[in-house]
Amino acid sequence: MSRLRVLCFSLSIDGFAAGPRQDLANPMGVDGMDLHQWVLPTRTMQRALFGADQGTTGTDDEFAARGFEKVGAWILGRNMFGPLRGPWLDEHWKGWWGENPPFHTPVFVLTHHARPPIVMAGGTTFHFVTEGVHAALDRARAAAGGMDVRLGGGVATVQQYLRAGLVDELHLALAPVLLGSGENMFSGINMRSLGYRCVERVATDMATHVVLRKD
């Protein structure tokens, strides 16, 4: 069976994965983009976001590339898809990423409000799942065709899957910044009691990369 993996998930030193007051001007919350300076300049992300064959190489880029390897589908929470809440009153919103999102696979978005699929350029199709986390995972695994499913976040979505015992692996990138407030990854989560242990750790100038797996 394909694995469910959290990959390239950036955290501040004080455990926040996003800053406060998310809006159109601050999709990751205030100061939240500071967490992603390790990955945005890499060749992997420059190619994924802009189709450009440029960018930094080295360890950070290697971890960014691993975040796309053997991934056949994604799962996102609605908060990760956009700032809209409640019923889909404006179906013109198609995510933060423009007409060619970086996923290039089927993406299953958790929501309480149904919406038809959105077919985007580059092989990305957004599917909106109202039946909960297990249904989204079942659909993502079916779409992945034996490849892994990447759980993209946000924090509340990752926590739901952790509490359900469904996450096989997490790659956390600890950025050398403090946010002070926002969405805390480990609030109410006991990773040790859930059976996770550190199996890999590598530090660069921009991040400390930690890989956790279950015993």
Interval 167-183: pLDDT, tens: 999 999 999 999 999 99
Interval 33-86: pLDDT, tens: 999 999 999 999 999 888 888 999 999 999 999 999 999 999 999 989 988 888
pTM for the structure as a whole: 0.94
Residue 70 lies in a domain: yes
- Residue 196 sits in a domain whose CATH number is 3.40.430.10
Residue 42 lies in a domain: yes
Residue 15 lies in a domain: yes
- Domain range for 148 is 4-84+99-214
Q: Name every residue whose Cβ is closer than 8 Å to that of residue 105 and which is 6 or more positions away in sequence.
A: 71, 72, 73, 74, 123, 124, 143, 144
Closest by CA to 11, choosing from 185, 149, 131, 165, is: 185
Domain count, the chain: 1
Structural contact between residues 117 and 106, judged by C-beta atoms closer than 8 angstroms: no
